[in-house]
Amino acid sequence: MDKIAKVILLTVGLLLLFTIAAIASDTIELNQLVENAAVMDGQTVIVKGEAIGEAMERGDYAWVNINDKTNAMGIWMKSDDAKKINVFGDYKHIGDTVKVTGVFNRACVEHGGDMDIHSDSVIVEAAGYATAETFPFYKMIVAVGLALTALIMGVVYLRQIKK
Amino acid sequence: MNTFKGRFYSIIIISYYTGFVVLGMSLLMVVPILTAMVFREWNPFLDFIITMAISTILGLVLIVIGRETRENKSFVQWKHGFVVAALSWIVLMVLCAIPYVLSGHVQSIVDAFFDVMSGFTTTGMVLTQDLDHLSVSLNMWRHMLTFIGGQGMIVLALTFLLKETGGAYIFYVGEAKDIDLVPNVKGTARIIWKISMIYLIVGTIVFWITGIIIGLNPVSAFFNGLFIFASSWSTGGFAPYTQNMMYYHSFSYEIITIIFFILGSLNFGLHYAVWSGNKKELVKNIETQSFLITSFLACAFAVVGLSKLSVYSDAVSMFRRVVYNVLSAHTTTGFGSVYARQFALEWGDFGILIMIVVMLIGGSACSTAGGFKALRVGIIFKSVIADVKRLLSSERNVKVFRFHHIKDQILADQLVKASAMIVICYIIMFSIGTAIGTFYGYPLSSAAFESASITGNVGLSIGIVAPAMPVVLKIYYIIAMYLGRLEFLSVFALIGFIIGGVKKLWTK
């Protein structure tokens, strides 16, 4: 009985492992799409990346650019899907991580030859957040010290040339 | 007794004027500092305070070293102008790289130097990482560098900081901006800056409105508009996002950039002539004629070449992806509406060849554009025709050939020789860049594309320029951008000055 239980556990474990591997391999990197654009043209792909900048609404649809650290690409999605994204990446934010399933176009006819993805589904996988801006204390000391030195030198110089 | 004409008088003069240029750049850092305050970006705020303080201190030290020059301005010679121009660019490259290094967005100091030189020279190649998370203030700085570099920063600093600019024309020519719109250089420099500032206001408003229409929020539309205008007008090619022009997904945005980068690539003399009511100059000028012919031919050949490869299936795509990139390359702007690797993977050798040719030709002389310039192409082409005509005509006929550039000018042998010399220098530099690229294992066409883009101060990439590329190649590219922008003479003068100084010291 114990043996049977072990075999079942092992089988389920292996199944889960391969399922996870299969899911991971389904997601394609944006740079791979650029490098293999001719082959991937017109295919349904799954990409995952950070939403950056902002959503640009164009009627019922919107452009959202995502960056997966290998490259960045525009996703053409429904405005309602774009509204699901709350945080976009910029200097003070890490944007929502979105998983997009859609059709990849090497030179989209609808969008003037753009290399883009027309989304079928958009899922926010991880919520974005504001990044805390910290700076070392010594940086402030150095900045104040240098600024004061420059100020004193400037005043002395101006007095000298006025003489 | 005047002791000024001592052993080090040249160093004193150079130190004095370089000090003012450094001080001028330091004052300009107020803009990113204010931007950082408005957006509460405290890290970049401190980075710019540190940089501004270091620049001010260095500028003042240099001015104090050269203080005797104040009373001895008549000693300023041509060599000093060239050396000040060449040296200032190197000093500023180091100083302006400080905010990049402190931001943590570059992998090495060489990368920071590369990006600053790319900005100053209006090249637009980027080694800064993670542009999508860059602070607004550092973006402001990047685009300011390219805008100022395009108009001429030595000119800006010296004409606005010095009361007397008797010898300023020397510095002006040193920065490859040898045009006299009005009799004095201060007036000419002010006209150049006036033209640029009017375009800056108009351009930013146009981009701002378009930005809002295409879905950007008003604040971001304003800053994107300002940055993209600065890059378009200065034919720089920087953009605030990784995707460059592809971020906006907008035909109208692209059309406006085309208008401004073509305007930016035209000679300031031509702008002034048209502004002064002389509209015929647009048609008669040898540079506009040359630019029109070469850009039309290049666009036509590129469209035909890429049609053969079936890269794009409709006219709109052809225009937005082919004509746009060819014009961007020809004006040496470097805005890209395709991914860098698409050139290598999709454009084919013929498409790449067209791009190399137009990148090397570049825009107009005394504009914000790079390359060996439409004026020189026009002069060399006219001289070839003149030589053929001379061969075919009777020996007793002595014909004088002319060309029109702002005014009617004689096609003198000296002028043709000077133009040909600069063109040869560019070609040598391009060849060396290509050779180094191939030495490091890049394909010939890619190495040639990148080298032409760097030599012509264009900024389009085929994928070689990346933080991982060999350091030797990075350093060569920095030198090539610098030489290409200053059109060799100033840098040669600096090298000659250093060698001469070393020789003197050696013999003593």
Reply yes or no on whether the pLDDT at A161 is more than 90. Answer: no
Q: How far is A53 from chain B (nearest CA, A)?
A: 7
> Is the complex ipTM higher than 0.90?
no
Q: Which residues, in sequence order, are CB contacts of A130 under 8 Å at separation 6+?
A: A87, A92, A93
Distance (Å, whole) CA B183 – CA B106: 44
The answer to whether residue B176 scores a pLDDT higher than 60 is no
Q: How far apart, in whole angstroms, are the C-alpha atoms of residue B111 and residue B129?
A: 10
Question: What residues of B are in contact with residue A49 (Cβ under 8 Å)?
Answer: none
CA–CA gap between residue B119 and residue B236 (Å, rounded): 7
- Chain A, 103 to 122: residues with Cβ < 8 Å from chain B are 107, 109, 111-116
> Do the Cβ atoms of B313 and A107 come within 8 Å?
yes
State the Cα–Cα distance between residues A84 and A123, nearest whole angstrom. Answer: 8
Q: Checking phi first, is residue B371 left (phi over 0); if not, alpha (psi -120 to 50) or beta?
A: left
With contact defined as beta carbons under 8 Å apart, do B112 and B46 qualify? no
Q: Tell me: pLDDT of A1 over 60.
A: no
Classify burial at B420, counting beta carbons within 10 Å of its beta carbon; exposed 0-12, middle 13-18, buried 19 or more: middle
Q: Taking CB atoms and an 8 Å limit, are B132 and A53 in contact across chains? A: yes
In this prediction the pTM is 0.89
| Beta strand pairing call for A44-58 and A129-130 | unpaired
> Between B368 and A95, where is the model more confident?
A95
pLDDT of res. B303: 96
Confidence grade of residue A19 (pLDDT, cut at 50, 70, 90): very low
Average pLDDT, stretch B458-477? 96
Q: Are strands A114-126 and A72-78 parallel, antiparallel or unpaired?
A: parallel
Contact residues, chain B, for A129 at CB < 8 Å: none
Report residue A126: phi and psi, to 5°: -140, 135
More confidently predicted of A152 and B398: A152
pLDDT of residue A20: 41
Higher pLDDT, residue B181 or B122: B122
Contact across the interface for B247 and A146, Cβ inside 8 Å: no
Tokens representing A46?
Answer: 């799954």
pLDDT of residue B191: 81
Least confident of A34-48, A104-118, B263-277, B385-399: B385-399
Reference B281, options B293, B294, B268; nearest CA is: B268
Given an 8 Å threshold on Cβ–Cβ distance, is B60 in contact with A154? Answer: yes
Query: What pLDDT does residue B1 have?
Result: 43
The mean pLDDT of chain B is 89
Look at B409 and B324; give whichever has higher pLDDT: B324
Q: Is the pLDDT score of B148 beyond 50?
A: yes
Let me know how many helices (H) and strands (E) chain B has, helices first: 24, 2
- Measured in angstroms, the CA of B206 and the nearest CA of chain A are apart by 18
pLDDT bin (cut points 50, 70, 90) of residue B467 is: very high
Band of the pLDDT at A23, cuts 50, 70, 90? Answer: very low
pLDDT tens, A97-128?
999 999 999 999 999 999 999 999 999 999 99
Nearest chain B Cα distance for residue A81, angstroms: 16
Residue A3 has a pLDDT of 64
| Predicted pLDDT at B238 | 95
Q: Where are the domains of chain A?
A: 28-130
B489 pLDDT tier (thresholds 50, 70, 90): confident
Helices (H) and strands (E) in chain A, counts: 5, 7
Assess whether pLDDT exceeds 70 at residue B162: no
Q: Between B172 and B275, whose confidence is greater? A: B275
Write out pLDDT tens, residues B37-63: 999 999 999 999 999 999 999 999 999
Q: Between 2.40.50.140, 3.30.365.10, 3.20.20.450, 3.30.450.40, what CATH number should domain A28-130 receive?
A: 2.40.50.140
Question: Exposed e or buried b for every residue in B454-483, given b needs 16+ CB within 10 A?
Answer: bbbbbbbbbbbbeeebeeebbebbbbbbbb
Mean pLDDT along residues A22-41? 86
Please give the residue of chain B at the shortest CA–CA distance from A61: B215
Closest alpha carbon within chain A to B136: A91
In angstroms, the Cα distances linking B327 to A51, B203, B252, B260, B388 are 31, 19, 16, 12, 31
pLDDT of amino acid B403: 85
Alpha carbon distances (Å) from A160 to A29, A155, B24, B64, B281: 62, 9, 19, 10, 49
Q: Do B133 and A54 touch (CB under 8 A)?
A: no
Determine whether the interchain pair B249/A35 forms a contact, defined as Cβ–Cβ distance below 8 Å.
Answer: no
| Spatial distance between the Cα atoms of B378 and B405, rounded to a whole number of angstroms | 10
User: Hey, what are A98's tokens?
Assistant: 């979105």
The per-residue pLDDT for range B16-35, each reduced to its tens digit, is 989 999 999 999 999 999 99
Query: Which of A130-139, B392-401, B420-429, B440-449 has the lowest average pLDDT?
Result: B392-401
**Based on the number of CB atoms within 10 Å of its own CB, is B336 exposed (0-12), middle (13-18) or buried (19 or more)?**
buried
Residue B60: predicted pLDDT: 96
Q: What is the pLDDT of residue A22?
A: 41
**Inter-residue contact A51 to A77 (CB < 8 Å):** no
Interface test with A, best of B20, B56, B346 (most A CBs within 10 A): B56
